[in-house]
Structure 1
Amino acid sequence: MTDDRHRRPEDVRAFYDAHRTVRQYETHEDGTPLPMPSEHLDVILHAAQRAPTDATAQLYSLIRLTRPELRARVADLTTNAHIATASEAFVVCADVRRVQRVLEVAGQQGGTWPAIAVHFGIGDAVMAGTNLLTAAEMLGYQGCWIGGVLNGLEGIIDELKLPQGVLPFAALTIGRPAEDAPYRPRVPRPLVIHTDTYHDGTDEEIRHATEVMNPIAARGGQPGDWARLLTMYFGQGGGMEKREPGLVAALKRQGLWAGGE
């Protein structure tokens, strides 16, 4: 007897190769979001909640954005307009407050572990969000992870009324694709999958990986330059340096800063 849960390796590969990052979604004629059927929403949320977690804690929360004015505000804060047009939009958060509340209600004293909170909270948030997106893709949707929450952390914390212990990690949009997004390359496996010990990569391997990844940076018919794109984000004076103070401030505000004064 065959088990329907088992899939052929080639089918699994094809499923993951069909993954796309999609920002343009099918909408009503007036541009408002096309609702997701309730049974679809229920199953993707079920998938999110079936994600693994450490110590049974489930250190995450998903804030589902439903009010048009709130979606518009979060879209503005993140500089990602598709938050307003997706069938479903979430802010995926690390959340250690709920565990503290469980201890409080049980009459127990919670510990102090801000570094652990960030470590496991972000991990749980990513796994729950990934489960949600994968389930949505199984139903024919596509989505987009949005790191742009870092562009407006303070405002997002205010708008969503997030208490201490809850930190936005990313936004996540889901919808029926209305664009033909390209297949994007990945760094060659030998630089990502290490056997027993870490392999730093030779200069030649790094140059080859850069060539493989160059198409991901192509814009407007012009050839891509992955190293240049990474420099814009991660180089000196780049986007991530500019985001750093805002993240540190949010960690401190939410009681999750372990770096001292």
Structure 2
Amino acid sequence: MSELSASDPQAASGRQQTAEQVREFFAGHRTVRQYRTEGGQPIPLPQDHLDAVLYAAQRAPTHSTSQLYSVVQLSDPAVRARMAELTGNAHIAAAGAAFVLCADIHRTAQILRLDGVEPGAWPDVANHFAVGDAVMAGQNLLTAAEMLGYQGCWIGGVLNHLAEIVELLELPAGVLPFSALTVGLSDEDTPYRPRLERETVVHQDRYRLPDEAELRRNIEQMNPIAARGGQPGDWARLLKMYWGAGGAMEQREAGLSAVKERQGLQGSR
């Protein structure tokens, strides 16, 4: 069932909410990794809910009208289980719905060739815009799911075994997984998680370098996000695990570069 029918532009007139309603909605956002199940099996989204979130994904903004992304919906329990194993995220198998958001220039190249045009050489530009398209589509999907009462989780663990995931999903050249995304009915009491001070993130006209005192104040504000087992959090330590020398991101670097080259999405250095 296609959900891409045109709507009356005037239908948007009743969409306006107050600033407080908008703040309240986004304050309710939680990243959830534990989902309600029945008899140990996922509780799938009703078809109309699934249609709605996928409709939202396809209504996302896109660069140059190109829609440089694809969404792989994970329906087969065996594929879900394998993805859960490869990403190290068990909730892919338990969520109400699971997806992989991919940067996709393959389809655009196909359309150009269909019109007798040879695609240009633009792997770095393709990476830039296709990842942006995938992110916007995925966030639209997640926001729509939250409007329907679900919660979700972006999963960067696709980089843990990226080459195997490309093979599992049979992705052609020009298609690269950006992230997995799960949504479902929450089965956890997730606390409100802080964010950096607005002044540190939002700059006026020019980039402003924060001083040490501001950074330390922000670290203190973010520490609760790293709390574990009743122990106080240490956000800097958490960042070190991901972004420090020898951390998780450095370990993923070689694998990502190799798969990008294999998929034709690695620019010259």
Q: TM-score range by the shorter chain?
A: over 0.9
* Inter-partner Cα distance in structure 2 for 1:3 and 1:236: 51
Question: Corresponding residue for 2:8?
Answer: none
**1:22 equivalent in alignment to 2:26:** no
> For structure 1, which runs of at least 5 residues remain unmatched after alignment?
none
Which of 59, 68, 76 pairs up with 2:68? Answer: 59
- Any residues of structure 2 matched to 1:79-228 within 5 Å, and which? 79-228=88-237
2:20 maps to 1:10: yes
Query: Residue 244 in 1 paired to residue 264 in 2?
Result: no
Tell me how far 1:32 sits from its aligned partner: 1.2
Cα distance in 1 for partners of 2:33, 2:237 equals 23
Question: Alpha-carbon deviation of 1:108?
Answer: 1.2
**Aligned equivalents of 1:254, 1:28: Cα separation in 2:** 39
Please point out which of 45, 50, 59 is paired with 1:36.
45
Task: State the Cα deviation string for residues 139-192 of structure 1 (Å, max 9, x = none).
Answer: 000000000001010110000000010000000000011111111100111111
Q: Measure, in 2, the Cα distance between the counterparts of 1:43 and 1:11.
A: 21
Q: CA deviation at 1:3?
A: 4.0
* CA distance in 1: counterparts of 2:240 and 2:126, whole angstroms: 30
Offset of residue 4 of structure 1: 2.1
1:259: Cα distance to partner? 3.0
- For 1:168, what is the secondary structure of its paired residue? strand
One-letter amino acid of the counterpart of residue 85, structure 2 = D
Report deviation, 1:105.
Answer: 1.0
Structure 2 alignment gaps of length 5 or more? 1-11
- For these two proteins, the number of residue pairs brought into alignment is 258
Q: Secondary structure at the match of 2:79?
A: helix
What is the identity percentage for the equivalent residue pairs of Structure 1 and Structure 2? 59
| Counterpart residue identity of residue 210, structure 1 | I
Give the superposition deviation at 1:107: 1.4
| CA deviation map 1:6-38 (0-9, x unaligned) | 101100000000000001111111x11111100
Q: Matches of 2:63 and 2:57 in 1, distance apart?
A: 15
Q: Are positions 1:74 and 2:97 aligned together?
A: no
- CA deviations on 1:16-68 (whole Å, 9 max, x unpaired) are 00000001111111x11111100000010000000001110010000000000
Matched residue SS, 1:243: helix
Query: Which whole-Å CA distance do the structure 2 matches of 1:221 and 1:122 have between them?
Result: 37
Deviation track 1:109-145 (CA, whole Å, cap 9, x = no partner) reads 1111000010001000000000000000000000000
Distance 1:164 1:199 in 2: 40
Q: SS where residue 199 of structure 2 aligns?
A: helix
Q: Take 1:3 and 1:119, find their aligned partners in 2: how far apart are those partners?
A: 34
Q: What's the TM-score, normalizing by structure 1?
A: 0.97
Give the aligned residue type for 2:86: L
Separation (CA, whole Å) in 2 of partners of 1:3 and 1:54? 26
Q: Secondary structure at the match of 2:38?
A: coil
Residue identity in the other structure for 1:116: V
Query: Take 2:117 and 2:245, find their aligned partners in 1: how far apart are those partners?
Result: 46
Alignment-mate amino acid for residue 257 of structure 1: Q
The alignment's C-alpha RMSD in Å is 1.0
Give the secondary-structure state (helix, strand or coil) at the position aligned to 1:163: coil
Q: By how many angstroms is 1:199 displaced?
A: 1.0
